[in-house]
Structure 1
Amino acid sequence: MVKTALVTGATTGIGFETASALAAEGYHVLLHGRNEEKALAAAATIGGGKVTPVFADLSDQAAIRSLAVRVKAEVESLDVLVNNAGVWNSQREMTRDGVEHTFAVNHLAYYLLTGLLLDRLRPDGRIICVSSDSHRQVKGIDFSDVSLERHYHGLRSYAQSKLANVLYCYEYDRRKSDGTTICAVQPGLVQTDIGLKGNTWLHRLAWRVRRRMSGNKTPAEGADTSVFLATVADQPPSGLYWDERVPKKSFSSSYDAEEARKLWTLSEQLTGFTYDFRV
């Protein structure tokens, strides 16, 4: 039986390499892009396995719901969901749903898309959420101003969203009632274009300099742990933070169960969606 995987943000960088590696392993890969043109172009360059392009603007909750419908039409079950899509914004932007853009794409899209696809995920399915050690740069979620209206900074916004990824994974693991595995992944410092899209000239310059620094990983190297967790024969332990194929400690605030519950409740409120975990 052919295994299936959905990889979000898979037209370039880590996501593209993840999708390519899974296709090479024989998976039917649903390759997500922000728009149809990019998804079609990326899918056409991947050899081996079946690759189906799907698209949605993950800052738009209606589009996420439409994406879930499309995925369900394509596959009867889903073995792997890789929540990889992410953004980094120099300037504060709000989505049509009234949410700060980085938080919407980097966290709420993970929460909503995963929840919408629960009835397609196999009971032993694997959910992989690409986070970052950047989550260590904030002490916690600013629940009094989650959209950072008062004190916005691109680094702070990104770090908060990556902390949300880890908190979400840990809380999902506490709430689940089946054998699904959920993992948060630190890909490392990777040579991607995330800091070049829609940012100020100064931040674009800083990102270009950063990409040239020694020790930075290629996108394929950054994808390695996600691919490992998706394909390793033995089910990985759930509810952990992974780096270089092994679990490691995340920042202390990510283990605050009350903070995670508050984030879960906030995510329910901002998306209007409540999980229906299997009994």
Structure 2
Amino acid sequence: MKLEGKHVVITGATAGIGQASAISLAKSGARITIVARNQQKIENTLATLKAATGRDDHRFVLADFSCLASVRRAAEEILSWDDKIDVLQNNAGIASSVYRETSDGYEELFAVNHLAGFLLTGLLLPLLNEGARIINVSAMIYASVKGINFDDLPATKNFDPLKGYAYSKLANILFTKELAERLKPHGVTCNVLHPGAVSTTLGAEDKGRVLTIASFLIKYFPIFFKTPEQGAATSNYLSESDDIANVTGKYFVNCKQVPLKPVGEDMEAAKRLWALSEKMTGFTYPEI
């Protein structure tokens, strides 16, 4: 896909691979819309985009992904522009070592990493051009769990930070699989990726033991981690490459299609998760 003049919406594009992807795609000619929560970081990123491209046609929308009402407001603002979307990158995500509930009463990891993207994507569907691409960022940790724990989905009873994160990343994959099937007749593709172990700020503010160790390793042993630019390579590949123009519902690592573990191919679980996600967000996906 030639990105000159194309509209790309990226969530969580104020740091890490989201920001690196925004800069790269802007250099390829795309108009970037950033969806993020920190206005100062957004303004810094917009300044970087302008410096990198010499253009000031990039925009932003404020959204707190821990609040579904905020996600709705962001989508409504984007819809009001009536500016068709060619690429939607659901990149925003968090890591946490402690149990937290959002203002909607849901476990934070699942809400931010899955429900917010599920809702935003559904609300923005009317703007997607034919041939548009939806790209969801997951993680290889999805394969560490046997499936979504539907009996305790918000993880309120036995919260485990690694399992909670893994459930949310598995949810990204199951969402991708079901959405790809639904969008096939409309010429819109949806794929999911693992960016690799990337040196980013994900979880940097969390003081839990696991994330403290991860931050230590990133700081003192960066050789073992990809740079954000390297981590964004697969997101950029899925946004631009003509090789995957008609590929949908697939999983990519290092710009290559990789088979999913059986837990990621469970379409019965994908449909069950879809129905539950609609109930939890109070949003029913439209026909397009």
Quote the sequence identity (%). 38
Q: Is the CA contact 1:132–1:188 (under 8 Å) kept in the aligned structure 2? A: yes
1:1-54 Cα shifts (integer Å, max 9, x gaps): 710000000100010001111110110100122132221122112221432122
Match of 2:19 in 1: 16
Q: Please, which of 188, 199, 206 is the counterpart of residue 196 of structure 2? A: 188
How far apart are 1:174 and its partner, in Å?
1.7
| Equivalent residue letter for 1:167 | L
Match of 2:102 in 1: 95
1:139 matches 2:146 = yes
Q: Is the CA contact 1:195–1:203 (under 8 Å) kept in the aligned structure 2? A: no
Match of 1:216 in 2: 225
Give SS of 2:150's match: coil
Match of 2:58 in 1: 51
State how far apart, in whole Å, the 2-side matches of 1:271 and 1:54 are: 20
How far apart are 1:236 and its partner, in Å?
4.5
Q: Is the CA contact 1:229–1:236 (under 8 Å) kept in the aligned structure 2? A: no
Give SS of 2:192's match: strand
When structure 1 is superposed on structure 2, of 240-249 and 45-54 the one drifting more is 45-54
Match of 2:134 in 1: 127
State how far apart, in whole Å, the 2-side matches of 1:95 and 1:236 are: 37
When structure 1 is superposed on structure 2, of 181-190 and 214-223 the one drifting more is 214-223
| Equivalent residue letter for 2:65 | L
1:187-217 Cα shifts (integer Å, max 9, x gaps): 00000111212332x3343012332254311
Gaps in structure 2 of 5+ consecutive residues = none
Q: Is the CA contact 2:66–2:116 (under 8 Å) kept in the aligned structure 1? A: yes
Q: Is the CA contact 1:107–1:165 (under 8 Å) kept in the aligned structure 2? A: yes
1:250 matches 2:260 = yes
State how far apart, in whole Å, the 1-side matches of 2:79 and 2:43 are: 19
Give structure 1 regions of 4+ aligned residues with deviation exceeding 3 angstroms: none
| Equivalent residue letter for 1:224 | A
State how far apart, in whole Å, the 1-side matches of 2:232 and 2:196 are: 9
Q: Is the CA contact 2:38–2:62 (under 8 Å) kept in the aligned structure 1? A: yes
Q: Is the CA contact 1:186–1:242 (under 8 Å) kept in the aligned structure 2? A: yes
Match of 1:277 in 2: 287
Gaps in structure 1 of 5+ consecutive residues = none
State how far apart, in whole Å, the 1-side matches of 2:187 and 2:63 are: 29
State how far apart, in whole Å, the 1-side matches of 2:270 and 2:217 are: 32
- Please report the TM-score for the alignment, with normalisation by the length of structure 1: 0.95
State how far apart, in whole Å, the 2-side matches of 1:229 and 1:204 are: 29
State how far apart, in whole Å, the 2-side matches of 1:225 and 1:75 are: 29
Closer/same/farther in 2, CA of residues 256 and 204 from structure 1, 3 Å limit: closer
